[in-house]
Amino acid sequence: MKRSVLIAGTHSGVGKTTVAMGVMAALTKRNMNVQPYKVGPDYIDPTHHTAICGRSSRNLDTFMMGVEGVRRTVENSYKDADISVIEGVMGLYDGMNSTEIASSAHVAKSLDIPVILVVNVHGMSRSTGAIVKGFTEFDKDVNIAGVILNRVGSPRHAQMIKDVLPDIPVVGAVPRNQDVKVPSRHLGLHMAGEQDYDVGKLAEFIEENVDIDAILSLASEPKKPEVEDERCIEDMSEVTIGVARDAAFCFYYEEMFDMFRKCGAKIEFFSPLDGEIPEVDGMYFGGGYPELNIAELEKSRTTKKLKDLSADGMPIYGECGGLQYLCSSYEIEDVVYKMADLFPAETLLTKKLQALGYTHGVAKGKFIKGPVRGHEFHYSLTECDSDSRLIYEMERGKGIMNGKDGITEHNSLASYMHAHPASFPVDSFVEECRKYGRK
């Protein structure tokens, strides 16, 4: 039987990321094959999961993917694993607006799997009982099967809390430990390659303070999908897509790569920071941190070559950081850096958050048509020339300007929206790349 469990928190900052990563590390240390997941549109935590488990972590989001999309992702990526561990997002019941959609609870209900609730008990004892009781009774369709107490002051403190909890097992009492905390970084957390914590020490710490056997006994088989994703193309002739992947471009959904391959495409990763220009039929620039590598990007051979490739008709797609890079310039702290200049637009880095949240756009472009869902998160503004063409009409989200997103030129497209492959027409993009390769 396949076993799954979701580790959620009462709210952001309770330590669920550290606990979830520690549970993954402890299970992996037992030589178990652990498939990790992350609820919500998060690119950073999954890199840690992947590094710990040795398997690509995948995102689960009922707004971007739908209930069936969540079930399909788990079913398709979990086949040879011993257990899957899902890290939640925000508080257990926090979804889009005041709904359950996109919440950890909705994912748990969609998969019909148990939840382990992480509670930060620092500064309280008996009140923990009220909090846990409220969480267990708020939605009886959510199976909160166990509790992990985090930031426990002492064994006596832990026992005081256990004595007042409702009839629910405490599967962990984790003391405060700054040595295993994941540090903050620019606009988020450290990527896995920049970690400065000891995974082995984290596994030992969790093994000492969490009943891993109890978690294994509580885990249950996730619900299977009822409908398959039948998107593909009849023409499966050879096509290669170059994916920019380095310190500047590092935000990608693993499922986007899965869909590329399902549509018959090979993927070749390359580094714009190193000036690489792969011989491919199309290119994809994801989000990331171009602003932290801006001087190197300005000098890059890749930057200087892209405009010609775009004018020749190569399909080039960019998201957020990719959008900023593909504009004509990027201004940071009063210094203007020349970028790839695929689009008649300039980007300005701001100190204030410009957009954060889910997005829903309806596209009317050459190879992108229909509704596309994703999310946006950026501290920049992009100003387009008056004759620029924007193909996304935003039903939700800010986009580039005036309720529109998705600037296009030739066969190139870039947007602030990080599109999820559940709705992004990957098959159409791959087919455009295939057509270009035949020129």
76: β partners: none
SS3 217: helix
CA distances from 179 to 106, 207, 395 (A): 33, 15, 44
> Residue 76: left if φ>0, alpha if ψ -120 to 50, beta else—which one?
alpha
Helix (H) / strand (E) element for 363: namely strand 355-364
Outline where DSSP puts E strands in 249-332: 249-251, 265-270, 282-285, 287-288, 316-319, 327-332
**155: part of which helix (H) or strand (E)?**
helix 155-164
Q: Could you tell me which residues are beta bridge partners of residue 357?
A: 376
227 burial level (CB within 10 Å; 0-12, 13-18, 19+)? exposed
Name the amino acid, one letter, at 371. Answer: P
∠ CA(384), CA(386), CA(387), 5° rounding?
100
**Within 10 Å of residue 184's Cβ, how many Cβ atoms?**
9
For the chain, give percent helix, strand, coil, nearest 5.
Answer: 35, 30, 35
Q: Please state at what angle helix 104-111 crosses helix 62-77, rounded to 10 degrees.
A: 40
Strands (E), 61-135: 83-91, 115-120
| DSSP per position, 402-422 | TTEEEEEETTEEEESSEE-TT
Rounded CA separation 66/225 (Å): 11
Q: With contact defined as beta carbons under 8 Å apart, do 119 and 149 qualify?
A: yes
Q: 433 catalytic, yes or no?
A: no
Question: What is the spatial distance between Cα 376 and Cα 45, in angstroms, rounded to a whole number?
Answer: 17
Name residues whose C-beta falls within 8 Å of residue 226's C-beta, 6 or more positions apart in sequence.
68, 71
For residue 336, the tally of other CB atoms under 10 A from its CB is 14
Dist CA 21 CA 45 (whole Å) = 9
Of the candidates 250, 320, 327, 433, the residue annotated as catalytic is: 320
User: What residues act catalytically?
Assistant: 320
